[in-house]
Amino acid sequence: MNALAGSCPACAEPVGLGDRFCEACGTPLLRKGSTSAEAATKDVVRKCPACGAVSGTATEYCDECGLRLPDPADRTTIDLGALAGVSDRGLVHHRNEDAIALGRLLDGTTAAVVCDGVSTTRQPERAARAASEAALAVLLGVDAPVEPVARVRAAVEAAGTAVATLDGSNPSPDGPSCTLVAAYVAGGEVTVGWVGDSRAYWLAGPDGRLLTRDHSWAAEVVAEGLMDEAAAFADRRAHTITRWLGPDTRPDPDVVSVPHDGAGTLLVCSDGLWNEVPEAGRIGEFAAGAGDGATPLAVANRLTEVALAAGGRDNISVVVIPLEGVQV
Amino acid sequence: MSAEAEFVVTVDQNAYLSVGATRVDAVVAVTATGDATPAVPTAALELLIIDTSGSMQGDRIASARAATAVAIEQLRDGVLFAVISGATSARQVYPKRGAARADPQTRAEAVTAVRKLSAGGGTAFSNWLTLARQIAEQHPGAIRHALLLTDGQNGDGRGVLEQTIEECIGVFSCDCRGVGTDWNVAEVRKIASALLGTVDIVAKPENLAADFHAIMNSAMGKRVADVSLRLWTPKGAQVKFVKQVAPEVEDLTAKRVQTGPLHGDYPLGAWGAESREYHVCVEVPTQAIGAEMLACRAMVVRGGSTETLAQGLVRAVWTDDDALSAKVSRKVAHYTGQSEYADAVEHGLAARRDGDERTATMRLGRAVALATAAGDREKLEMLAKVVDVDDAATGTVRLKSKVSDEAEMELDIRSRRTSRVRGEG
Ligand SMILES: [Zn+2]
Ligand SMILES: [Zn+2]
């Protein structure tokens, strides 16, 4: 048995740190949710909101009027109380190719993953869903390394394998690909690993600080001092990503680990948010605008609405994790 | 490995529509890939119909005999076949009745019988087709194909040919070849169009054998009898037209058979390892910006069954971004030009025959402009035998005073043959 972490919410028996189930009554001590899990439960009834006809499961379109049926993944909302995530199709794209996965153990250990499908590949949403699921399973799993940086690296590795093996042993070069950002919050430390241009921010009141550095053309020319930020982001190639998870790429994440003192909020998001609100400070202001004592879900909804109001030109995914609720 | 073809449907279109727009255009390509080796084939019936009317005397009947012998030699073992000679009436040359099964002995016997063919009498297509139909009807389920060779004008009474063709639809398909320049393109095209076949001119009798060889090659390659294109369209939508646009332009709109409340079938005939493309135009009820609709589900189905062999989706997405909606799919644009070219040539030549020089000059000029825009050298060469071109880009032309019958017929017949273009990928 592990060190004591508290008592079972169902039977009040003591449970160990890192236990996934109560050993006395079997109640799961891990709460989690993801785009994939949500999609699986919502896929059953396919009634057309426009004409009322009920369609077969083999189609994305109404069998009568032809209008596209709402995709269960058009908007995913996951509310775990202490943290929450929203993933939205946006206003321009016709699929939500982002995926989110988040979870929390009874001891307060928290993890969140946001993946953004690379839309020039086939069925990128499959990559995003598989990668986010695989990474979360490692982050909150029992077998992964205890040391946070090693754990996050193992999670990215698992996500990379999940993407690379999506099409069995014959992956095609344009097979499903995605970006990934994974956050692991435990033991007074925030550890973030990423591949591509999905991001993590630390928001404190109306302030915000970017924790990641994009693997993108713009970020790299700025880092190398070849261009200033304004010029780089104005370039046509600005958003071209330089690293991703795909059929024939080895995951090559950057990982940072920073201590936290229980103040502020961790935000994990796809570029659908930060393209519309490029300044970290503005994101912090919008988050704070949800009001004092706003729930993580309220903040996640607000940030999504802000990105939609600004144009919603891409899929938008945000996961909000207030650090005060996380064990220091 | 399977002897049966595998179908793939791909769709080329710009799915974006501007606010209020209702017309959706797409090019649907149907490709069948299959085992190239003739494994156990679906039963096949080949009917060779040879014109033996009086006008065939001399070179023509000699070439027809030789070409028919070439076709017979190409019959795969086991294929059912019959040879019909056509004049005022139709007669079975080989076998005496019904169809024979091809093997070395029957092929040799058939060639011997064909060598004895002589020419005499008139021309009545309806009698030839009726005999072919009677033989074909004894072999339902087989891939049934006929090759009809003629050199003259039909002598059937008014409406008789049309009635006969109607009776043959769905019983067999028919490729038609005209030898010399005394036959009527429109008349023979009527047979080929209705019976899902091709029509071509073989001006020089000595080229017949090579042409028959090509036709038999394609006929023996067919693997699936009776394929249909099934178009599903949503409630309130309507298929405005369906045209085969490659390898030739053929309007299929009127061939629709309603097979369900929201779908209709267009018969495509038998298929081998080949690719054909169809321009589908659908009128849909307009939707709000951002809405996405399935404008048409294009399915390949086996005739008389509900089994879908392959399908492709034609979508419509309404947007206020003009940059998106203004784009036209390259394939749609290409084939729209090619169909317009075929129309311009057909109408231009008809006007020329009717003595309406003004219309002829205008329409043939338009054909020159379209062929120029498409960079189609072959078409321009054929046009140059009929008109003198002053300005190719604008289509300014003068009618030639002396045009050979062969050049005119070739232009007319081949106007519907299209060049292919790669899709957007
Ligand atoms: Zn318990
Ligand atoms: Zn509907």
Same structural domain, B162 and B61: yes
% of chain A beyond a pLDDT of 70: 95
Residue A318 has pLDDT above 60, yes or no: yes
- Run of H or E including A77: strand A75-79
Token pair in block for residue B183? 């036959």
Query: Residue A284 CA to chain centroid, in angstroms?
Result: 18
B235 vs A61: CB contact, 8 Å cut-off? no
In chain B, residues with a C-beta closer than 8 Å to the C-beta of A89 are none
Token pair belonging to A298: 């309220």
Residue with more model confidence, A234 or A185: A185
Domain of B164: which CATH number?
A: 3.40.50.410
B237: nearest CA in chain A?
A65
Calculate how far, in angstroms, residue A25's C-alpha sits from the geometric centre of ligand 1. 4
A65:B236 CB<8 A:
yes
Smallest Cα distance from B360 to chain A, Å: 44
Q: Hey, is the C-beta of A52 within 8 angstroms of any chain B C-beta?
A: no
Q: Do the Cβ atoms of B293 and A67 come within 8 Å?
A: yes
B173 and B290 part of one domain: no
pLDDT tens for each residue of B91-108: 999 999 999 999 999 999
Question: Tell me, what's the ipTM?
Answer: 0.74
Flag whether pLDDT at A3 surpasses 60.
no
Does the distance separating the beta carbons of A65 and B235 come in below 8 Å?
A: yes
Burial class (CB in 10 A: 0-12, 13-18, 19+), A176: buried
Question: pLDDT class for B114, splitting at 50, 70, 90?
Answer: very high
**A4 C-alpha to ligand 1 centroid (Å):** 14
Contact between B234 and A66 using a beta-carbon 8 Å cutoff? yes
The answer on B314 and B335 residing in a single domain is no
Nearest to B291 among A51, A64, A67 (CB): A67
Chain B interface, best mutation among A60, A65, A89, A122, by max B CB count within 10 A: A65
| Same-domain check for residues B23 and B91 | no
> Do B284 and B404 fall into the same domain?
no
Q: Predicted confidence band at A59 (pLDDT cuts at 50, 70, 90)?
A: confident
Contacts of B284 in chain A (CB under 8 A): 66
Do both B293 and B186 map to the same domain? no
Q: Which residues contact A232 (CB under 8 A, 6 or more apart)?
A: A217, A218, A219, A221, A222, A226, A238
User: Residue B58 is encoded by which pair of tokens?
Assistant: 């001399």
Distance in Å, CA B292 to ligand 2 centroid: 11
Indicate if B257 and B339 belong to the same structural domain.
no
Residue B58 inside a domain? The answer is: yes
- The ligand whose atoms approach the alpha carbon of A23 most closely is 1
Token couple for A69: 């049926």
Q: Considering CB atoms only, which of A61, A66, A68 is closest to B237?
A: A66
Residue A78 C-alpha to ligand 1 middle, in angstroms?
Answer: 24
Query: CB B291 to CB A68 under 8 A?
Result: yes
Strands A199-204 and A265-269: antiparallel
Taking the C-alpha atoms of residue A241 and residue A273, their distance in angstroms, rounded to an integer, is 16
Of B234, B313, B317, the CB nearest to A65: B234
User: pLDDT band for position B38 (50/70/90)?
Assistant: very low
> Does any domain span residue B325?
no
Tokens of B26: 């797409």
| The domain boundary residue, chosen from B171, B198, B223 | B223
CATH code where residue B291 lies: 2.60.40.3670
Average pLDDT over every residue of A250-257:
94
Q: Which ligand is nearest to the CA of A53?
A: 2
Average pLDDT over residues A249-255: 92
**b/e string for A152-170 if b means 16 or more Cβ within 10 A?**
bbbbbbbbbebbbebeeee
Considering the domain boundaries, does residue B420 fall inside one? no
pLDDT tier, A72 (very low <50, low <70, confident <90, very high otherwise): confident
Contact flag A66-B284 (C-beta cutoff 8 Å): yes
Residues B116, B213, single domain; the answer is yes
For residue A55, give the DSSP letter: P
Reply yes or no: is the peptide bond before residue B140 cis, omega within 30 of 0: no
B257 and B303 housed in the same domain: yes
Report which of residues B235 and B289 the model is more confident about.
Answer: B235
Cα separation, B248 vs B382, whole angstroms: 17
Asked if B317 lies within 8 A of A94 by C-beta distance, the reply is yes
Domain membership of residue B184 as a residue range: 44-223
B64 lies in the same domain as B211: yes
* CATH number of the domain within which B400 lies: 1.20.120.1690
| Homologous superfamily of the A75-323 domain (CATH) | PPM-type phosphatase domain (3.60.40.10)
Write out chain B residues lying below 8 Å of A66, CB-based.
233-235, 237, 284, 293-295
Residues of A in contact with B317 (CB under 8 A): 94
Query: Which phi and psi (to 5°) does residue B405 adopt?
Result: -55, -40
B18 and B95 fall within a common domain: no
By C-alpha distance, the chain B residue nearest A90 is B290
Residue A44: the pLDDT is: 55
Rounded distance between C-alpha atoms, residue A13 and residue A4, angstroms: 11
B154 located within any domain: yes
- pLDDT tens string B234-272: 999 999 999 999 998 999 999 999 999 999 999 998 888
Please check whether residue B323 touches A, CB under 8 A: no
Torsion of CA B354, B357, B360, B364, to 10 degrees: 140
> Does residue B326 belong to any structural domain of this protein?
no
Cβ-nearest to A61 among B237, B284, B294:
B294
Does B261 contact chain A (CB < 8 Å)? no
**Cα of A39 to nearest chain B Cα, Å:** 20
Distance from CA of A249 to the nearest CA of B (A): 24
Is any Cβ of chain A less than 8 angstroms from the Cβ of B295? yes
User: Cβ separation of B293 and A61 shorter than 8 Å?
Assistant: yes
**Chain B closest-CA separation from residue A208 CA (Å):** 33
Nearest CA in chain A to B314: A66
pTM, two decimals, is 0.70
CB-nearest to B292 from A59, A91, A94 is A94
**B1 pLDDT band (50/70/90 cuts)?**
very low
Asked if A323 is an interface residue toward chain B (Cβ–Cβ < 8 A), one would say no
Count the neighbouring beta carbons within 10 Å of the beta carbon of residue B103. Answer: 13
Say how far apart CA A291 and CA A180 lie, in whole Å: 30
Residue B37, pLDDT score: 38
End-to-end, the C-alpha distance of chain A in Å comes to 22
| Co-location of B209 and B277 in the same domain | no
Ligand nearest to the CA of A46: 2
* Alpha-carbon gap: A64 to the closest alpha carbon of chain B (Å): 6
pLDDT tens figures, B363-374:
999 999 999 998
Query: What are the extents of the domains in chain A?
Result: 75-323
Per-residue pLDDT tens digits for A78-115: 999 999 999 999 988 878 999 999 999 888 899 999 99
Set of chain B residues whose Cβ sits within 8 Å of the Cβ of A61: 293-294, 313
**Would residue B424 count as lying in a domain?**
no
Token couple for B339: 């169909």
Q: With an 8 Å Cβ cutoff, is A282 touching chain B?
A: no
A18: which 2 tokens? 């890192």
Q: How many Cβ contacts (< 8 angstroms) between chains A and B?
A: 36
pLDDT-derived band at A68, boundaries 50, 70, 90: confident
Q: Which ligand is nearest to the CA of A8?
A: 1
Is residue B51 situated within a structural domain? yes
Mean pLDDT, all residues of chain A: 88
Q: What is the tally of structural domains in chain B? A: 3
Contact A62 B234 (CB under 8 A): yes
CB-CB neighbors (< 8 A) of B295 in chain A: 66
Q: Which ligand is nearest to the CA of A63?
A: 2
CA atoms B254, B260, B263, B266: torsion sign: negative
pLDDT of residue B72: 93
Could you report the per-residue pLDDT of A291-314, keeping only the tens digit for each? 888 999 999 999 999 999 998 999
